[in-house]
Amino acid sequence: MSQFELSTELPAAEAFKSLYDTTGWGPASRDAAFYQAALAGSWRARAAYAEGQLIGFVRAISDGHLHAFITEMIVRPEFQGQGVGAALLGAIIADCQAAGLSDIQLFCAQGKSVFYQRHGFVSRPLDAPGMQFKPAG
């Protein structure tokens, strides 16, 4: 396992953009200001650093009483499989539980469901409530 430190401080927008760009989830043309605005909407967050570099990040949005939604859980590809994601996820779940939240949800990147299942998440049944908006075109 690599040596890393967790922080409750939000990362710099430029570092978050660089990390986010490793996922392929959004256009690389988004600027750091876009990510700064996104970070500002976080309820709780944890960042992982190795030698001063942001190597992982997780954040949740929440109403603080009923629901929490983990919006991103990102670990740089070269640091995956080294305990970074487990530490980040465990920390954000602990934050939610400390606030009395028991409904913790997330969207899972393709191929990552086994990781989340190992940490207590279950897939929603096909007939369960919940939908995602997808614009036409």
**Average pLDDT of the chain to the nearest whole number:** 92
Distance in angstroms (rounded) separating the CA atoms of residues 32 and 109: 23
- Please report whether residue 126 resides in a domain: no
Distance in angstroms (rounded) separating the CA atoms of residues 83 and 64: 28
- Please report whether residue 123 resides in a domain: no
Domain that holds residue 51: 5-118
- Please report whether residue 124 resides in a domain: no
Residue 131 binned pLDDT confidence (cut-offs 50, 70, 90): low
Q: Which residues are catalytic?
A: 116
- Please report whether residue 125 resides in a domain: no
- Please report whether residue 135 resides in a domain: no
Kindly report the CATH number assigned to the domain that includes residue 10.
3.40.630.30
Instruction: Tell me the pTM.
Output: 0.90
- Please report whether residue 129 resides in a domain: no
What token pair was written down for 39?
A: 């970070």
Q: How many domains does the chain have?
A: 1
- Please report whether residue 136 resides in a domain: no
- Please report whether residue 133 resides in a domain: no
Q: What is the DSSP string of 77-95?
A: GGGTTTTHHHHHHHHHHHH
pLDDT tens readout for residues 83-119: 999 999 999 999 999 999 989 999 888 888 899 999 9
The pLDDT of residue 110: 84
